[in-house]
Amino acid sequence: MLPVLSANCMDFVYALCVLLAESGEVVITNNGKPAAIMLDISGASGSDLEETLVMVRQARVMRALNDIHLAAVEKGLDALSEMEIEAEIRATREGR
């Protein structure tokens, strides 16, 4: 489990640096709810930083696509036939 650090901590910056050095990852909370994830990149070069940002953004997109897929499954949309899908596409296009 990732270390969790409350934003209300008096020695927040120091504690954050210590936790990052120890674990490489820290979850920042606000009122007990996750608000941010911090990653230790102290040894990274500029290109490593950009690559890390790209990977984080890709992970966000993958998470969003997974959420969309799960919502479709919950609604039973994964069981639509080819004809039903085509009918839905036609109806949407006609509505434009």
pLDDT digits (tens, 9 = 90+) for 61-79: 999 999 999 999 999 988 9
Domain of 92, in residue numbers: 43-96
Strands 4-6 and 25-30: parallel
> 50 with 89, same domain?
yes
Total structural domains in the chain? 2
pLDDT digits (tens, 9 = 90+) for 7-46: 566 577 788 888 888 998 989 889 999 999 888 887 777 6
Q: What pLDDT is attached to residue 48?
A: 83
- Binned at pLDDT 50, 70 and 90, residue 1 comes out as low
> 6 with 47, same domain?
no
Q: What pLDDT is attached to residue 67?
A: 97
The pTM of this model reads 0.62
> 35 with 82, same domain?
no
Could you say which DSSP state residue 78 is in?
A: G
Q: Kindly report the three-state secondary structure assignment for every residue of 22-52.
A: HHCEEEEEECCEEEEEEECCCCCCHHHHHHH
> 52 with 77, same domain?
yes
